[in-house]
Amino acid sequence: MKNPPVTNSNSRISIIAIVGIMGISLFLLLYFIFENNLGVSLFDSVITSLLFAIISNSLWYPTNYISLHDHSLLNVVINNLLIAVIATSIWLFVSYFIVTTTFEEYENFFLYTSIWRFTIGLLLFIIAIILNYVIIYYNNFTEKVISESNFNSLIAEAELKSLKYQINPHFLFNALNSISSLTISDPEKAQEMSINLSDFLRKTLAVNDIKMVLLKDEIESINLYLKIEKVRFEKRLQINLDIPEECEGILIPNMILQPLVENAIKHGVYESSENVDINISCEIKENFVEITISNTFDPSSVSNLGEGIGLSNINSRLKLIYKRTNLVSITKSDNIFKVLLLIPKEDLSKEDF
């Protein structure tokens, strides 16, 4: 069960205000309309309203106990009416006792107004009980909303995790085979390649902890990757990077370009016996930063490789991160496959994702 509203500082202020208004109205009534003397009017109104505050607050517990969930409506109404009658009786009796023992001459007036006090008191207690139910309902509702939004952000996070870049094991084994070959024919180059491979691995293994990176850094790890593939495929792979200086400082989701470069190599170099050009360029536009990755391919080859997964993966990641669609577009002409990524500018400065 939750703590009663009085323990919450906001609710406490509203309770004090309500009881204050009640006390002041009662005082004005007693003093000006019924023309009692100042002291007794003050004492009666303070005691009456204070007692009301205490008793109505303690009704929080039975209200929670008789919840709307586990009981029928009729049951709830009858029980609460009974509680309201008992509360009103206790409140009236205790205030009568305190006030009349202090001011004995006031007893007649108090008895004379007791029906009137009882009716209004009962009404106010019923309102207090209804208010308790409203508060409980509201608390449950906000709790549900919070847990739901927590749940949703958990799902989004899990989804992002599942879309994370994963190193292709075949790339790794083939690169290691090249190194193995180079150790015999060109040990110096073997050393250089194993260092490039280690640097690339170090960068990709750290990706799970980093969400956004500078384009400059992403290009750096792509360069390591391309250097390794260049050793494997030699002149079959031609690379052209066009990243102007003003693009280097923009933030992009980590490892968002790497799968696209791997796709370009997979569908370009793996499938063609001719030389393949891969171009990567960047341009800053009004609302977006445009990053283009294109590759030439052999239009006569019938692909034997799976496709589409990498691209739809990138699309989903960008959608989750930037909360908008259409950030990835693909164009395919005679022998050029081009992927255009739009990175929204307003989010570029946010490091917190």
Partner 1 sequence: MTDNKLKAIIIDDEKLARDLIRNYLKQFDTIEIIDECENGFEGIKSINKNNPDLVFLDIQMPKLNGFEMLELIEENNNIIFTTAYDQYALKAFDVNAIDYLLKPFSKERFNEAVNKVIGKINNTNDPLTKNSFPELLSTDEKLKRIVVKKNNKIVIISVDKIKYLKAEDDYVDIVTPDGSFLKQNRMKYYEEHLPDPFIRIHRSYIANLNEIKEISLLEKDNHIIILKSGEKLPVSKSGYRKLKEVIK
Q: Of 68, 57, 59, whose CA–CA distance to 8 is shortest?
A: 57
Measured from the CB atom, is 125 or 297 closer to partner 1? Answer: 297
CB of 177: closest distance to partner 1 in angstroms? Answer: 4
Q: CB of residue 328 vs partner 1: minimum separation in angstroms?
A: 24
CA pair distance 189, 192, nearest whole angstrom: 5
Q: How far is the CB of 301 from partner 1 (least distance, A)?
A: 5
Closest to 281 in 3D by CA, of 326, 246, 244, 311: 244
**Minimum CB–partner distance for residue 270 and partner 1 (Å):** 6
Cβ distance to partner 1 smaller for residue 17 or 176: 176
3-state secondary structure of 80: helix
Phi, psi dihedral angles at 252 (to 5 degrees): -130, 160
Pick between residue 122 and residue 193 the one whose CB is nearest to partner 1. Answer: 193
The DSSP symbol for 192 reads: H
Measured CA distances, 136 to 189, 200, 337 (Å): 72, 56, 59
CB of 200 to partner 1, least distance (A): 17
Q: How far is the CB of 191 from partner 1 (least distance, A)?
A: 15
Q: Which two tokens stand for residue 145?
A: 């909303």
Nearer to partner 1, 20 or 299 (CB): 299
Q: How many residues can be counted in the chain?
A: 353
| 152 versus 177: smaller Cβ distance to partner 1 | 177
Residue nearer to partner 1 on the CB measure, 228 or 256: 228
The sign of the CA dihedral 237, 242, 245, 249 is negative
User: By the 8 A CB rule, do 280 and 222 touch?
Assistant: yes
Taking alpha carbons only, the member of 321, 322, 328, 275 closest to residue 297 is 275
- Nearest-approach distance from CB 279 to partner 1, in angstroms: 20
- Cβ contacts of 191 within 8 Å, gap of 6 or more: none
Parallel, antiparallel or unpaired: strands 251-253 and 237-242? unpaired
* 351 phi, psi to nearest 5 deg: -95, -10
Burial of residue 188 (CB within 10 Å: 0-12, 13-18, 19+) is exposed
Nearer of residues 209 and 334 to partner 1, judged by Cβ = 334
Least spacing, CB of residue 305 vs partner 1, in Å: 8
Q: Which residues bind partner 1 (CB under 8 A)?
A: 169-170, 173-174, 176-182, 184-185, 231-234, 269-273, 298, 301-305
